[in-house]
Amino acid sequence: MAAKDKHNEVFLEEAKELLAELETALLELEETPEDKDLIGRIFRAMHTIKGSGAMFGYDLVSKFTHEIETIFDLVRNGKMAVSKDLVNLTLQARDQIKFMLETPEMGTDELDKNTRIIDQLKGLVPAGAMAKPATSTSTAGSSTAPAASSGSIATYRIFFNPSRDIFRTGANPVQLLQELHSLGECTVVAQIQNLPFLEDLDPESSYTSWDILLTTDRGLNAIKDIFLFVQDDSELKIDVVDVIDPSQQVDYQPYTKKLGDILLERGDVSPEEVKQALSAQQRFGQILVGMGAVGSDKVASALAEQEHVRDVRDKRQKEESVMSVRVPAEKLDRLVDLVGELVTVQARFSQAAAEKQREQSSYLTIAEEIERLTAELRDNTMSIRMLPIGTTFSRFKRLVRDLSRDLGKEIELTTEGAETELDKTVIERLGDPLVHLIRNSIDHGIEDTAVRKAAGKPGQGTIHLAAVHSGANVLIRIADDGAGIDAEAVRTKAVENGIIAPTAELPEQELFALIFAPGFSTAKKVTNVSGRGVGMDVVKKAIDALRGTIDISSSRGRGTTITLKLPLTLAIIDGFLTKIDTEHFVFPLSLVEECIELPRGDRETADGRHLANVRGNLVPYVRLREQFMISGSMPDIEQIVITRVSDRRVGFVVDSVIGGHQTVIKNLGKFYHEIKGISGATILGDGTVALILDVPNLVRSAEYDAANTR
């Protein structure tokens, strides 16, 4: 049962990927309706969902998908054109398939919806086009050979014996063989047992027949087409001997079909003859020839088949293994854990080596070597978890398409940097915040077509989604060419909601940041898209949880750009290690700008105002000793670590600064989940625990405290 569940899970996982592929391909098809490759991709995705669905007991899914596939077969065969309606309905069908997979128990409403979609799709089929696929489907179904559908790669065994006077008809059998070569990998074995000796030979007759092995994804019909003009007078037999479905993630079984099996299958020998031959200890082919059971040419041909199929499979397997490696996320997580531990051990070793440096300098050399290796191992392992963000991007094409249609706006989504790689977890957790931001742009940002035209802008609005690497971070920009944020409206609303005081003077940047405050919305009307005042604060929280930051820039009438800055990975960061009394704290190095000293004298004259003068600029600071209620005596000179969060500089006072530290992030566990200001912990070289500071959160709570004590 457990194994069955596991397989089911794998199927659902694959179906999810196929549905994503289906959606992407459909959206692309809308842009380029003539693209045959896209139609092929769509067809293959549906075909695999149908096949695997039936295998795992999702009969409804399988039946429904079959209907859609039948219609798409018409498109594939050029009997039906791609239209907007077809794409719309197929997208709806795709959503239904998704729903059916998620909800195996379907209500009658949903079943009706299925029927409606199929009926509507059938309504698009041009008259007379439908008869053909029904026939072809039933032919495929009744085939005795392993089913080789379009899209799957099949190896065919073709026996071709042209009529003796084929030369006189002007046909050239060798040319037909060359055409077969153009379909795929082809092994041709000529058979000349009918070739007479020279005196009896009629040079204008054909005596050669052929056993051909062809591996192709073009399907049976493509092969039959080649023999179209000679088939009436020739002997032609086509069998499928092997099928590889490229969309299936299969562990290829090694090709083990024995020579005897092939000869038996071809009807060249009887089972008894095989049995008899097997009892002798000679090479099997030789034995059969020796027995006179089969001609040596037949054996050669069967051997060629064995070799051909084996080669094709080997080659295919090699190609696949080069293309991608599928690793369960669980194993990867474990690998990352291990690397984390290794990094910790390395740190301990380095520390030990440093202490023994005087006696054993070689110790240090080893430590350096381990350090280099560990760093490489870390980078390599992390790269396995990296995925291109493009998969997330393609999801938004559908969102923009559907939402803009619902709102009657014309919006185009353009993307850039889809190949930018980010940690798998970051990508997964980024999806929802991005949806919120894009929805917001569609609803509040881009104006109605008429308004845009009146403002002298093109009627179609644009949302540009871009990703780019920037050091240890990835920047994701969502830029629209809409109305921009009304700073005054934000201000009024913030005052109304008591977020800021009526007299507060805030620069535009800080005003914009207020839209991320809980319960904030400037939308004049509530639509089903956005404007309920939930969302932007959720976005902020999600991005914070990813240790990222959000920046907004907006220009009235010209548009808004939201920039998310995200770390490449969540597992290891470059940290900045500090100490207060006996406790260690780690700052994410990416947020640290500089350190300055805070002598006892300055501390006393500051009069409790917590402001430091940094080259003429006042920088507010937070005393972490007070924040975390650490007792003990303060050193004469403390250090202020100055960080930059959302374009604001805030200092944090610690006793001493230790320096850069490769920080393996460990979760604090459920009990400590709610602690504000701490995002995790790490284990130091000597085995003690250092807490990793959640700097943006500390800044926010300090601001909150300051506002309340004012």
Partner 1 sequence: MSLTAIQQDRISTIAIAGELTISVAEEFKAVLLEAFRGADEVFLKIGELDAMDLACLQVLCSAHRSAVRAGKKMTYASPPPVLFRSAVADAGYTRLNECPLNQDNSCLWQTMG
* Structural element, H or E, at residue 412: strand 411-416
Measured from the CB atom, the residue of 262 and 400 that comes closer to partner 1 is: 262
CA atoms within 13 A on the CB side of 505: 0
For 267, the 3-state DSSP assignment is: coil
C-beta of 422: minimal distance to partner 1 in Å?
51
Distance CA 441, CA 436 (A): 9
Binder to partner 1 among 5, 105, 204, 330 (CB under 8 A)? 204
- Least Å distance between CB 162 and partner 1? 10
* Count of residues near partner 1 by CB under 8 A: 32
CB of 195 to partner 1, least distance (A): 5
CB of 161 vs partner 1, minimal distance in Å: 13
**Amino acid letter, 300:** A
212 near partner 1, rule: CB under 8 A: yes
Mapped onto helix, strand or coil, the DSSP state of residue 282 is coil
Q: Exposed (0-12), middle (13-18) or buried (19+): which is 24, by Cβ within 10 Å? A: buried
Shortest distance (Å) from residue 301 CB to partner 1: 8
Place of tokens 């932007």: 536
Distance CA 46, CA 39 (A): 11
* Residue 303 vs 645, nearer CB to partner 1: 303
Residue placing its CB nearer to partner 1 in the complex, 200 or 607: 200
Footprint on residues 436-475 left by partner 1 (CB under 8 A): none
**Least Å from the CB of residue 189 to partner 1:** 4
Please tell me whether residue 614 binds partner 1 under the rule CB under 8 A.
Answer: no
Which token pair is 446? 């881009």
Site for partner 1 in 163-202 (CB under 8 A): 167, 172-174, 177-178, 187-190, 192, 195-199, 201
Is position 145 an interface residue for partner 1 (rule: CB under 8 A)?
no
Give percent helix, percent strand, percent coil of the chain, each to the nearest 5.
50, 20, 30
* Nearer residue to partner 1 within complex by CB, 234 or 569: 234
* Least Å from the CB of residue 238 to partner 1: 16
Position among 11, 43, 210, 576 found at the interface with partner 1 (CB under 8 A): 210
Half-sphere exposure in the Cβ direction for 702 (13 Å, CA): 23
Q: What residues have CB less than 8 Å from 355, skipping those under 6 apart?
A: none
Residues 479/463, Cβ–Cβ less than 8 Å:
yes
Q: Which CB atom, from 120 or from 172, has the smaller least distance to partner 1?
A: 172
Interface pick for partner 1 out of 106, 300, 377, 418 (rule CB under 8 A): 300
Segment interacting with partner 1, rule: CB under 8 A, options 208-216, 272-280, 396-404, 511-519: 208-216
Separation of first and last alpha carbons in the chain: 64
In the bound complex, what is the minimum distance in angstroms from residue 216's beta carbon to partner 1? Answer: 17
CA dist 468 and 417 (Å) reads 6
Q: From residue 303 to residue 342, what is the string marking binding to partner 1 with x (rule CB under 8 A)?
A: -x--------------------------------------
CB of 201 vs partner 1, minimal distance in Å: 5
With H, G, I as helix, E, B as strand and everything else as coil, classify residue 268. Answer: coil
Q: How far is the CB of 186 from partner 1 (least distance, A)?
A: 10
Task: For residue 236, give the nearest of 348, 350, 158 by alpha carbon.
Answer: 158
Distance, CA of 419 to CA of 17 (rounded, Å): 18
Spacing of C-alpha 47 from chain mean position: 21
Q: Quick one: which of 208, 425, 527, 563 contacts partner 1 (CB under 8 A)? A: 208
Site for partner 1 in 258-297 (CB under 8 A): 289, 295-297
Single out the residue of 80, 153, 299, 309 in contact with partner 1 (rule: CB under 8 A).
299
> Between 212 and 515, whose beta carbon lies closer to partner 1?
212
Q: Kindly identify the residues of this chain, within the stretch 655-674, that bind partner 1 according to CB under 8 A.
A: none
Q: Indicate the angle between helix axes 296-323 and 284-291, nearest 10 degrees.
A: 160
Exposed e or buried b per residue across 488-512, where buried means at least 16 C-beta atoms within 10 angstroms of its C-beta: eebbebbeeeebbeeeeebebeebb
Q: Which residues make beta-bridge pairs with 660?
A: 576
Question: By C-beta, is 195 or 707 nearer to partner 1?
Answer: 195
Which residues, including other chains, have CB under 8 Å from residue 404's CB and lie 6 or more apart?
Answer: 410, 411, 442, 446
- Minimum CB separation of residue 228 from partner 1 in Å reads 20
Are the CB atoms for 564 and 581 separated by under 8 Å?
A: no
Contacts to partner 1 by CB under 8 A: 167, 172-174, 177-178, 187-190, 192, 195-199, 201, 203-204, 206-208, 210, 212, 289, 295-297, 299-301, 304
